[in-house]
């Protein structure tokens, strides 16, 4: 005989992990694709075209990016909504946690504090970024993006977002592995150490890549002459104008 149990807590917990995992994987790809600018403007342009479906349909559909951004936005909101349960619910709780963390000097607890803070930051800057991507999908490209970074003052926001999202994602992945016992092996102390090292390495690598890309966009944004608009003219791929 099966008892009726309230399945919601299990589902919420599972969903939090799954949405987190999707977002983390997405971010890992996102930052790498975006770093194509470091290779060349042309490369970045091609990556943009790829996401617009050019290589599949032979034409550009910025709507795909809009759709992707919207999907991520939904997952983002879902994740934020579920994970918010774990936030300190009052100043008192926050204070207790803060004191506990200061007293214990315990790395994993401090890492969690970082996640709470970065998570909180992303409610705002993450939303802004996602909203822009959703509404202006056509404005992605070596020049368009650079212009956004410099002329539209998105640079500082991207900088903060980069730090927040990278640390949040990799700490999250680390925690995810331990939380579910992923590949923990017989010696959990050892596997945890490895995961932790991996987490720190990835944070460092991604922040370096991200910062370098951001620097490049900023450089382009400052040095490029935007009098012709922000459209990028590829040397290799020519579109016939359908207007």
Residues that bind other proteins (CB under 8 A): 2-7, 9-14, 85-86, 88-89, 93, 96-97, 100-101, 103-106, 108-109, 112, 175, 178-181, 184, 188, 192
Is the CB of 199 or the CB of 214 nearer to other proteins?
199
Largest CA distance in the chain: 75
User: Least distance in Å: CB of 17 to other proteins?
Assistant: 9
Grouping H, G, I as helix, E, B as strand and the rest as coil, residue 89 is coil
Q: Is 233 helix (H, G, I), strand (E, B) or coil?
A: coil
Q: State the Cα–Cα distance between residues 50 and 54, nearest whole angstrom.
A: 6
* Residue placing its CB nearer to other proteins in the complex, 179 or 231: 179
Q: In whole angstroms, how close is the CB of 101 to other proteins at the nearest point?
A: 6
Q: In this complex, which beta carbon is closest to other proteins, that of residue 3 or of residue 243?
A: 3
Select from 95, 99, 126, 104 the least CA-distant residue to 26: 126
Residue 68 or 97 having the CB closest to other proteins: 97
- Is the alpha carbon torsion for 85, 203, 132, 239 positive or negative? negative
Crossing angle for the helix pair 188-223 and 8-34, to the nearest 10 degrees: 50
Are 99 and 107 in contact, with CB atoms under 8 Å apart? Answer: no
Closest separation in Å from C-beta 38 to other proteins: 35
Query: Least separation, in Å, of the C-beta of 147 and other proteins?
Result: 41
To the nearest whole angstrom, how small is the minimum distance from the Cβ of residue 220 to other proteins? 41
**Nearer Cβ to other proteins, position 87 or 219?**
87
CB 141 within 8 A of CB 197: no
Q: Are 225 and 31 in contact (CB under 8 A)?
A: no
* CA pair distance 80, 102, nearest whole angstrom: 26
Do residues 31 and 177 touch, judged by C-beta distance below 8 A? no
Nearer to other proteins, 15 or 70 (CB): 15
How far apart CA 197 and CA 87 sit, in angstroms, is 26
Q: Which is nearer to other proteins, 6 or 240 (CB)?
A: 6
């Amino acid at each position: 005989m099966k008892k009726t149990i309230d399945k919601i807590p299990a589902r919420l917990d599972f969903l939090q992990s799954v949405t987190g995992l999707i977002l983390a994987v997405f971010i890992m790809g996102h930052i790498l694709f975006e770093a194509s600018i470091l290779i060349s403007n042309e490369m970045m342009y091609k990556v943009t075209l790829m996401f617009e479906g050019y290589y599949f349909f032979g034409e550009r559909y910025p709507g795909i990016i809009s759709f992707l951004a919207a999907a991520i936005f939904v997952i983002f909101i879902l994740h934020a909504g579920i994970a918010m349960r774990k936030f300190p619910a009052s100043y008192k709780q926050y204070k207790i946690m803060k004191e506990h963390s200061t007293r214990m000097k315990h790395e994993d607890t401090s890492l969690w504090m970082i996640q709470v803070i970065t998570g909180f930051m992303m409610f705002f800057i993450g939303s802004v970024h996602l909203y822009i991507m959703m509404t202006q999908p056509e404005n992605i490209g070596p020049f368009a993006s650079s212009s956004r970074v410099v002329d539209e003052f998105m640079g500082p926001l991207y900088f903060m977002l980069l730090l927040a999202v990278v640390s949040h994602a990799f700490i999250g992945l680390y925690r995810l592995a331990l939380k579910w016992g992923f590949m923990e092996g017989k010696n959990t102390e050892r596997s945890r150490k490895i995961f932790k090292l991996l987490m720190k390495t990835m944070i460092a690598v991604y922040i370096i890549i991200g910062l370098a890309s951001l620097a490049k966009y900023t450089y382009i944004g400052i040095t490029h002459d935007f009098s012709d608009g922000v459209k990028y003219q590829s040397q290799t791929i020519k579109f016939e104008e359908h207007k």
